Amino acid sequence: MAPPEPARRRRWARAVRLFLERAGPGFVKLGQVLSVRPDLVPEPLRRELEALQDRAAPVPWARVRHTLEQALGADLRETFRALDPRPVASASIAQVHRALLPSGRAVALKVLRPGVEREMARNLRLARRLSPVLGLWPSLRGRVDARSLWDEIERAARDELHLRGEGETAAELGRRFRGDPWIRVPRVFWGHTARRVLTTEWVEGHKISAPEARGHPSYPALAEAGARAFFRQVLEFGLFHADLHPANLLVTRDGRIAYVDFGIRGRLDPGERHAVLGTLAGMLSRDPALALRHLERLGVRVPEAHRSAFVQEVGRALDAGLGPCLGEVPVASIGMGLLRAARRHGVRFPHRHAVLVKALLSIEGTARMLHPGFSLERCARGYLRELALRRVDFATVAEALWRGTALMGLGGLVASQTARRSPRKVFSLAPDG
């Protein structure tokens, strides 16, 4: 007797994942990109791709040493006091070693695998030739521009292969969070960094998913601070760490969250930040029309024949999920439901914002590792109130929240702040229609 259909689908999805893991770094990157698109990829396959393991056998030390000396232009005996030849992590693109600078400072040394640029380019060329097949996949037909999708995959791959660019992201976020009592970004040592080598300070701590990361009395506040830090990256900085799985978040010995591995990062211009803020406000105020209006400013396209049904389905999901008892329904499950609704209604979502969706859906689960009672909805509301009080780009805040102020407890705040503007300015903040 043939196995039931769900079992066959799970076996097929697992076979796809194993093929991608074995095919090389370019195919791993393809799988990682598709894993954040529940609006495109069937759920059994998406779950398998989410578990895609980017692991590889360590490169022999002699080859790593040669790469380091070529990249840094110096003998390692002169550059480091000590360097452990055993990697602490090894993936398809790079591996990480612990070292000591001449000053005795402990550092993490990330180095590209020899030949990985050529292998990645070869993988991506082959995958691009196969890309027209994506357009024949029933769930993708007419809903994805294969060329732009591959352009985005190649851009992400180039970012991960440029370790100096990763260091620049870390350094910028380090400047932004300087003085923050809850957040730590490792310092970059530029004299020991090049395109193929990144040297950052070594951070002592345990993964946020480790058993040691639970039960401490300060961790509820730490969970809240970590989520707010992400909102700041997206809505204030326009630069965010886009790979927030537990291995990239440490809890330090002094009780702070430390970010590591900035290989996957995202950027938003002011208009995009405005649109993300409006979408968030529309969701929190249970106003699907407002949320959709701002999503369309991000490039989301809803077929006109499906528009009314999609808005109604989004409204039902928000009403069901954002009930009177905050925290009962994970916001991530609401978000995944909305993306599945997008798939049913043929909604087109630009891939360049997929990393933001992935990060938004992951921060709640990550924060709940520290504090099981954490509510992303409550945290988001509090952050938006704080944003308005600090009057950070207040015109954007007021415009985005105009329709949702009563539900979000911001009515008095918006009224008091807008009263200080001229009537003409206040009128300009009102939404279209």
- What SS3 class is residue 245? coil
List all residues 6 or more positions away from 222 whose beta carbon is below 8 Å from its beta carbon. Answer: 182, 251, 255, 256, 257, 370, 371
Distance separating alpha carbons of residues 241 and 327, to the nearest angstrom:
25
Token representation of residue 71: 């990249």
Catalytic residue among 243, 261, 287, 393: 243
Distance separating alpha carbons of residues 76 and 80, to the nearest angstrom:
6
243 is catalytic: yes
Measure Cα distances from 135 to 88, 142, 201, 344, 352 in Å: 40, 7, 45, 17, 18
Burial 115-139 (b: 16+ CB within 10 A, else e): ebbebbeebbeebbeeeeebeeeee
Sign of the Cα torsion 139, 143, 145, 151 reads negative
| Residue-level length of the chain | 433
CA angle 27, 31, 33 (to 5 degrees): 115
CB-based contact 10:51 (threshold 8 Å): no
Q: Which residues pair with 98 in a beta bridge?
A: 108
| Catalytically annotated residues | 243
